[in-house]
């Protein structure tokens, strides 16, 4: 079963400095039909204006994964991490027992476009931790493992039974993904255009996939896709 979540159906908030689309209920956007997808609680598609950002604020007991599509994002946190995240780079922060952080766009003239995901952890009160991984030079026409419970194949080890894959597709590229018994997938088109089992999807579109053995993706235009394989 595949349930589509089209881009224009998502929640939307325009704060001037922040233009955000919410795949699931978040902040002032509430839809009881879209409270998340299994352990996946938040998936925000954010564009932050030049020189603007999120002031220092707290988090706890949440796995936070950010992927920068364009522009730059300056991160600082109470663990002592300070870094500028650039296109093609994933940032992971396990808030655990509690952490404070800020995120700003350091550019004077260009917005930063990012996807941020919150995943409910499988343990509470753990020690906060941080990691980064770059896929800027990862080849197209393949799925690349970004994060996993066990950190296999040099992926980021996270506190939940979720495999996060990045699909990079040029026009005409074809890839497939197999679901093990009892697994489910949330697919999010980050940019570009693809087909999912022949169904056209564009940037911002998502799909909940359950009770399927596999699915096929084909690039229509150069695209990036996030695949969350969850239990």
CATH at residue 32? 2.60.120.10
Q: How far apart are the first and last CA of the chain?
A: 16
Number of domains in the chain: 1
Q: Which residues contact 28 (CB under 8 A, 6 or more apart)?
A: 13
Cα angle at 63 between 60 and 67, to 5 degrees?
125
**Residue among 93, 11, 15 at smallest CA distance from 53:** 15
Q: Which residues contact 90 (CB under 8 A, 6 or more apart)?
A: 65, 66, 67, 132, 133, 134, 135, 146, 147, 156, 166
- Helix, strand or coil for residue 142? strand
Distance CA 162, CA 147 (A): 7
Distance CA 126, CA 157 (A): 14
Range of the domain at 95: 2-230
Tell me the pLDDT of the chain (231 aa) as tens digits. 999 999 999 999 999 999 999 999 999 999 999 999 999 999 999 999 999 999 999 999 999 999 999 999 999 999 999 999 999 999 999 999 999 999 999 999 999 999 999 999 999 999 999 999 999 999 999 999 999 999 999 999 999 999 999 999 999 999 999 999 999 999 999 999 999 999 999 999 999 999 999 999 999 999 999 999 999
- Helix, strand or coil for residue 38? coil
Distance CA 75, CA 73 (A): 6
| pLDDT for the residue 215 | 98
| Eight-state DSSP code of residue 67 | E
- Helix, strand or coil for residue 188? strand
Tell me, rounded to whole angstroms, the distance of Cα 218 from its chain centroid: 20
Tell me, rounded to whole angstroms, the distance of Cα 25 from its chain centroid: 15
Please report how many Cα atoms fall inside a 13 Å half-sphere around the Cα of residue 65, on the Cβ side: 31
Cα angle at 38 between 146 and 3, to 5 degrees?
90
Distance CA 7, CA 22 (A): 9
Distance CA 220, CA 212 (A): 23
Distance CA 61, CA 102 (A): 17
| pLDDT for the residue 90 | 98
């Amino acid at each position: 079963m595949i349930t589509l979540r089209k881009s224009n159906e998502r929640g939307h908030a325009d704060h001037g400095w922040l233009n955000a689309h919410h795949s699931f209920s978040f902040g002032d956007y509430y839809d009881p039909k879209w409270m998340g997808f299994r352990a996946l609680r938040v998936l925000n598609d954010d564009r932050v204006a030049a020189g603007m950002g999120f002031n220092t604020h707290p988090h706890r007991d949440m796995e936070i994964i950010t992927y920068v599509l364009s522009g730059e994002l300056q991160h600082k946190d109470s663990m002592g991490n300070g870094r500028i995240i650039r296109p093609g780079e994933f940032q992971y922060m396990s808030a655990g027992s509690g952490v404070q952080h800020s995120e700003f766009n350091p550019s004077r003239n260009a917005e930063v476009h990012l996807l941020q995901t919150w995943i409910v952890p499988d343990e509470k009160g753990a020690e906060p931790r941080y990691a980064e991984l770059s896929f800027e030079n990862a080849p197209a026409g393949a799925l690349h493992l970004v994060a996993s419970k066990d950190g296999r194949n040099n992926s980021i080890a996270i506190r939940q039974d979720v495999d996060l894959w990045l699909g990079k597709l040029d026009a005409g590229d074809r890839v497939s993904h197999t679901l093990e018994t009892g697994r489910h997938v949330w697919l999010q088109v980050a940019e570009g255009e693809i087909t999912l089992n022949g169904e056209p999807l564009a940037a911002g579109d998502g799909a909940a996939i359950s009770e399927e053995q596999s699915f096929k993706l084909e690039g229509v235009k150069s695209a990036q896709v996030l695949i969350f394989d969850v239990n």
